[in-house]
Each structure stands twice: as structure tokens, then as C-alpha cells.
Amino acid sequence: MLENFFFRRIEINAECKPFDCGDADLNDFFQKDCQDYLRQLLTVSYVFENEEETVAFFSVLNDRISSIDTSRKFFRKLRKKIPHKKHLKSYPAVKVGRLGVTQKYQGQQIGTEIVDFIKAFFTERNKTGCRFITVDAYSTPRTIKFYEKNGFQFLTEEDKKDDTRLMYFDLMTFVRH
């Protein structure tokens, strides 16, 4: 379905078409903050749009999965997946900072298409070296189920009672398909 829409990077001072995903925080970020974050070199946001509206958007930023941020047991398990003689203390990742689909298009698999687009974007066009995708997923059953359905796993169990859960996806599992 994404092929039916125009894709573009949001630039500073560019006009954005109307967007409402039903989440005030995501709407506010898209309408007020995404260009400021770009100006400060914190995130880059992209949109899928038609002639009238923004259908969906996502923002990405650099991240890492670090031995400091995870349990020793988890990090050892993660490190075993990476065949390298010199193990690192952290591994490069890209974080999906925001992702939203306008209410009119929710339930049509656009979110999944965007996640797959991001996976391809950071494997086929990878410019910096990036092994993982991370996300601070809202701790709602719907959001957690969405990311799990798209292959994401929990990075830790320590955030179970928090407003967001840190999840990750290993891009090597996508590359092999």
C-alpha cells in the first residue's frame, strides 16, 4: 500500500500536510517538534503522503545496544550471534523515535509496511554500520503486540512497569530472508 503514496524526508521549514493518528504526543511531535529535532541533528523524520494529507510518518536516530544497558546474561547471548574475534562493548543500532499512521489508514498494515521499509532502509542502504533497530514502545498491549508481530523482542525485563518498553530487532534476521 505504501507504493500508493509519496515518500519524502521532512526538511527544515518544509510544510507538512495534516496528520492525526489519535495520539496527542505523536501528533504534537509531528506538527511542532520534528523540524526542531532535525535542526538540532537529533532525528530525521520521513513521511508517506498523498495530495491531501500525511498518511504516516516515522523518525529515526542513532542508538546502540550496550553492555551497560542490559544484563550480562542477555549481552553475552547477543554477542554470541555476532561472529567477530574482538567483541565490542556496544553494537550500533538505529532507534525508531516516533512512528504514526493517521487514523483513517490504521488497521491496513501500513505500520508493518513502514517497519519493513525501515529494515530495508538500514540494510540495503546502510551507510554507517547498523546491526539492530531499537524502539521505546508504548507499554500498551496494542503497541507491544504490533512490535512483537514485526519481530521485535524485549531488551530487558526491568522496564515492565514503565510507560515504554525497550525492544530490539536484529537486522541480520531480515537480511537472511
Give Cα 2 distance to the centre of its chain.
17
Query: In this predicted model, what pLDDT tens digit does every residue of 106-140 receive, in sequence order?
Result: 999 999 999 999 999 999 877 788 999 999 999 99
Question: Looking at residues 95-100, what average pLDDT do you find?
Answer: 97
Other C-beta atoms within 10 Å of 118: how many? 22
Calculate ∠ Cα 120-79-143, nearest 5°.
Answer: 50
Query: In this predicted model, what pLDDT tens digit does every residue of 52-73 receive, in sequence order?
Result: 999 999 999 999 999 888 888 8
Contacts of 170 (CB under 8 A, 6+ apart): 81, 131, 132
Q: CA-based diameter of the chain, in Å?
A: 53
Question: Looking at residues 71-81, what average pLDDT do you find?
Answer: 86
Task: Return d(Cα 105, Cα 110) in angstroms, integer.
Answer: 7
Give pTM, 2 decimals: 0.92
* Dihedral, CA of residue 47, residue 177, residue 157 and residue 68, to nearest 10: -80
CATH (domain of 159): 3.40.630.30
Residue identified by cell 498491549 is: 141
Task: Return d(Cα 96, Cα 49) in angstroms, integer.
Answer: 19
* Dihedral, CA of residue 80, residue 84, residue 85 and residue 90, to nearest 10: -70
| Tally of domains within the chain | 1
Give percent of the chain with pLDDT exceeding 70.
99
C-alpha cell at 139: 507499554
User: What was the pLDDT predicted at 176?
Assistant: 61
Residue span of the structural domain in which 108 resides: 2-175
Bridge partners (DSSP) listed for residue 63? 93
User: What was the pLDDT predicted at 140?
Assistant: 95
Do 44 and 12 form a contact (C-beta atoms < 8 A)? no
Q: How many CA atoms lie within 13 A of 5 on its CB side?
A: 21
